[in-house]
Amino acid sequence: MNLKIYKRDGSVGSDSVEIPDSLLALEPNQHAIWLAVRAEEAAGRQGTHKTKSRSYVRGGGRKPFKQKGRGVARQGSSRSPLNPGGGTIFGPMPHTYAVGVPQKVKVLARRSAFVLKAREDRIRVLEDFSLDAPKTRDMAKMIAKMELADQKVLFLTPDYNDNIARSVRNLPGAGATRAASASTRDMLNCSTILIQKSAVEALLKGLSHAA
């Protein structure tokens, strides 16, 4: 599969890059995609929620009343969950939500996401360019010339480019990341993927591992 290289003015150049047919022949694995996306979203949870069990509530050092003779149930501490101000039973405690995913499953999920976008003709290769400073207006004009103004666009660059990242972060739905680190969720959570020409090799290298 050959992808034409677009210019910044939205026109299609004469050059193209080749995507291996062996990669596009993969049958997308929906379960692998689900596992990878679930793991990424779970890793983003803070897990800092906390309630106080009876072990953490202040007080309760002495028996609140004598054992017998009051006609009520016996108690040994005022920190009991049965009392006002007592501990919480089975309340949320700090913990990690991280879910492990095998490396082969991660690669399979990324390949599946890429193939889905390729089959939908949602991948475009863009000529290499650089910005001297963050310019959101210039990026917005370029996206508009490519008829992608109302879409979620993901820019993939060979290395982290601070000027490009800062230029697109104020555009609704747009984002930028390194091609080698683009996750399954990144590729699925956009309408179109714009890959700089020099980033194609890095992306294909990350997707070429057998899964």
Total-model pTM: 0.80
**95, 112, 129: which is the final residue of a domain?**
95
Q: Are 143 and 190 in contact (CB under 8 A)?
A: no
What letters, b where the CB count within 10 A reaches 16 and e where it falls short, cover 37-61? Answer: bebbeeeeeeeeeeeebbeebeebe
Whether residues 88 and 23 fall in one domain: no
Range of 142's domain? 2-46+99-207
Q: What is the 3-state secondary structure (H, E, C) of 161-210?
A: CHHHHHHHCCCCCCEEEEHHHCCHHHHHCCCEEEEEHHHHHHHHHHHCCC
* pLDDT-flagged residues of the chain (< 50): 210-211
Same domain flag for 27 and 122:
yes
Same domain, 149 and 73: no
53 and 120 belong to one structural domain:
no
Check residue 207 and give its pLDDT. Answer: 84
Cβ-contact 154, 164 below 8 angstroms? no
Do 155 and 60 share a structural domain?
Answer: no
Neighbouring CB atoms inside 10 A of 129's CB total: 14
Q: What is the CATH number of the domain that holds 114?
A: 3.40.1370.10
**What is the number of structural domains in the chain?**
2
64 and 15 in one domain? no
In tens, the pLDDT along 86-110 reads: 999 999 999 999 999 999 999 999 9
186 touches 194 (CB < 8 A): no
Q: Both 54 and 30 in a single domain?
A: no
